Amino acid sequence: MLKKKVEEALNGQIRVEAQSSQIYLSMASWAEVKGLEGISQFLYKHSDEERMHMLKLVKYINERGGHAIVSELEAPKTEFGSFQQLFKALFEHEMYVSECINNLVEVTLNEKDFATHNFLQWYVAEQIEEEALARTILDKISLIGDDKGGLYLFDRDIQQLTVDSAAADPGA
């Protein structure tokens, strides 16, 4: 059975993950309209992943005797200026999500809810990967500068971009 404080904190994270999905969906739509097909596909995929992160929390709360709450969301931005600005915003958002996960982990430790603490370790590792991927993308964008040919190659190649994190399971 979940303690009320943990349940409330987990429900807060449901909202963060749902909002992340909406933000990345809006970014994907913006990129698609700009003709950046690779970037849009990358972001559509990430929007789906964030929704799956949310669903994982919903199921966990309900399985532990709590009640997962689906709340309202803020409308995400629809304009991002440039693809560079878009990915800078993505990186900043991932840093925010990491902070939220860390705060959630702290709640579980304070409440001595070690089962939920253990459950959240997947999210901790996932955020390490997400931050590393966002940094890699920003590094590549920095190399491109204003080169249109570089943007073309980046847009084509981003769909395959992944980062092997030090936190990843070496047996995976």
Binding-site residues sit at: 17, 50, 53, 94, 127
Annotated binding site for Fe cation: 17, 50, 53, 94, 127
Q: What is d(CA 49, CA 54) in angstroms, rounded to the nearest whole number? A: 9
Give the side-chain half-sphere CA count within 13 A for 170.
1
Q: What is d(CA 70, CA 54) in angstroms, rounded to the nearest whole number? A: 10
Tokens 């849009």, located at residue: 40
Nearest to 163 by CA among 129, 140, 137, 125: 129
Q: What is d(CA 45, CA 39) in angstroms, rounded to the nearest whole number? A: 10
3-state helix, strand, coil in the chain (%, to 5): 75, 0, 25
